[in-house]
Amino acid sequence: MNIRPITTRKIIVSAFMLCFYCLVNAQNYIEIKPDDDEKEIVKKAASVKPTQRQLNWQKLEVTGFLHFGINTFTGKEWGDGSESPSLFNPSKLDTDQWVKVAKKAGINLLILTAKHHDGFCLWPTQTTEYSIKNAPYLDGKGDILKSLAESCKKFDMKIGVYLSPWDRNAKSYGSEAYNEMFRNQLTEVLSQYGKIDEVWFDGANGEGPNGKKQEYDWSSYYNLIRKLQPDAVIAVMGPDVRWVGTETGYGRETEWSVVPANNLDQNNIAAGSQQQMNIKPAGDMQNKDVGSRDKILKAKGLVWYPAETDVSIRPGWFYHAHEDSKVKSKEKLLDIYFHSVGKNGVLLLNIPPTKEGLIHQIDETNLIEWKNLRDQIFGNNVLHHKGVKLLKDGNRKSLKNDGTGIWTTKKENQELIFEYESTKDLTFNILQLGEFIKWGQRVEKFEIQVKKNNNWESIANGTTIGYKRIMVLPTTVSNHIRIKITQSRLNPFVDKIGLYHYEDIAKLDGKAH
Ligand code: FUL
User: Which CATH number belongs to the domain containing residue 99 in this structure?
Assistant: 3.20.20.80
**Does residue 497 belong to any structural domain of this protein?**
yes
Return d(Cα 335, Cα 380) in angstroms, integer. Answer: 18
**What confidence category does residue 16 fall into, taking pLDDT thresholds of 50, 70 and 90?**
very low
Last residue of one domain, picked from the residues 326, 345, 379? 379
| pTM: predicted TM-score of the whole model, two decimal places | 0.94
Do both 171 and 84 map to the same domain? yes
State whether 337 and 445 are in the same domain: no
Please tell me the least confidently modeled range out of 168-182, 205-219, 272-286: 272-286
pLDDT score at 335: 98
| Residue at 76 is within a domain | yes
Q: Looking at the CA of residue 65, tell me the nearest atom of ligand 1.
A: 9
Band the pLDDT of 396: cuts 50, 70, 90: confident
What percentage of the chain exceeds 70 in pLDDT?
Answer: 91
How many other CB atoms are there within 10 angstroms of residue 352's CB atom? Answer: 24
Is beta strand 396-398 parallel, antiparallel or unpaired with respect to 407-409? Answer: antiparallel
In this predicted structure, the answer to whether residue 401 has a pLDDT above a threshold of 80 is no
Each residue of 148-162: pLDDT tens digit?
A: 999 999 999 999 999
Per-residue model confidence (pLDDT) at position 408: 92
Q: Are residues 362 and 493 in the same domain?
A: no
- Ligand 1 center–CA 202 separation, angstroms: 7
Pair 322, 455 in one domain: no
Q: Compute the average pLDDT of residues 240-255.
A: 96
If asked whether residues 236 and 352 sit together in one domain, one would say yes
Same domain? For 349 and 451 the reply is no
Domain assignment present for 118:
yes
- Cα-flanking dihedrals φ and ψ of residue 304, to 5°? -80, 115
Torsion of CA 390, 393, 394, 399, to 10 degrees: -30
> For position 446, which CATH number holds?
2.60.120.260
**Residue at a domain's end among 351, 379, 407:** 379
Asked if the model's pLDDT at residue 262 lies above 70, the reply is yes
Does any domain span residue 97? yes
Local confidence band at 285 (pLDDT 50, 70, 90 cut-offs): confident
Q: Is residue 35 in a domain?
A: no
Q: How confident is the model at residue 405, as a pLDDT?
A: 83
Domain boundary among 345, 362, 379: 379
**Residues 458 and 449 sit within 8 Å (Cβ to Cβ):** yes
Nearest atom in ligand 1 to 202's CA? 11
pLDDT at 399 over 90: no
Q: Is residue 241 part of a domain?
A: yes
Residue 25 or 373, more confident: 373
Regarding whether 483 and 336 lie in a shared domain, the answer is: no
Query: Residue 13 pLDDT > 60, yes or no?
Result: no
State whether 370 and 393 are in the same domain.
no
Could you report the per-residue pLDDT of 304-348, keeping only the tens digit for each?
A: 999 999 999 999 999 999 999 999 999 999 999 999 999 999 999
Taking CB atoms within 8 Å and a gap of at least 24, the contacts of 385-393 are 385/422, 385/424, 385/426, 387/422, 387/423, 387/424, 388/420, 388/421, 388/422, 388/423, 388/426, 389/420, 389/421, 389/422, 390/418, 390/419, 390/420, 391/419, 391/420, 391/421, 393/417, 393/419
How far apart are alpha carbons 93 and 315 in whole angstroms? 23
Residues 466 and 333 in one domain: no
- Look at residue 272 and tell me if it is in a domain: no
Q: Confidence class of residue 10 from pLDDT cuts 50, 70 and 90?
A: very low
Burial of residue 307 (CB within 10 Å: 0-12, 13-18, 19+) is buried
Query: Please, are residues 439 and 492 in contact by the beta-carbon 8 Å criterion?
Result: no
Mean pLDDT of 471-491: 97
The whole-number average pLDDT for the span 374-379 is: 98
Mutate to test the pocket of ligand 1, among 168, 202, 241, 286 (most ligand atoms within 8 A of CB): 202
Which domain, by its residues, includes 128? 61-206+215-257+306-379
Instruction: State which ligand 1 atom lies nearest to the alpha carbon of 67.
Output: 7
21-30, 114-123, 175-184, 475-484: segment of lowest average pLDDT: 21-30
User: Looking at ligand 1, which atom is closest to the CA of residue 318?
Assistant: 5
pLDDT at position 248: 96
Residue 8 or 36, more confident: 36
Instruction: State yes or no: pLDDT of 17 exceeds 50.
Output: no
> 404 with 370, same domain?
no
| Sign of the alpha-carbon dihedral angle for 298, 303, 304, 309 | negative
- Is residue 144 in a domain? yes
Angle at 59 between CA 54 and CA 64, to 5 degrees: 95
Q: Which residues of 217-238 are buried (b: 16+ CB within 10 A; e: fewer)?
A: bbeebbebbbeebeebbbbbbb
Residues with CB under 6 A from ligand 1: 77, 202, 204, 310, 317
Confidence of residue 398 (pLDDT cuts 50, 70, 90): confident
User: Residue 71: what are its φ and ψ, rounded to 5°?
Assistant: -60, -30
- 21 vs 195 pLDDT, higher one: 195
For the chain, the domain total comes to: 2
- Same domain for 396 and 338: no
105 with 138, same domain: the answer is: yes
Beta strands in 379-415 (DSSP E): 388-391, 396-398, 407-409
For the cut 90, the answer to whether the pLDDT of residue 303 exceeds it is yes
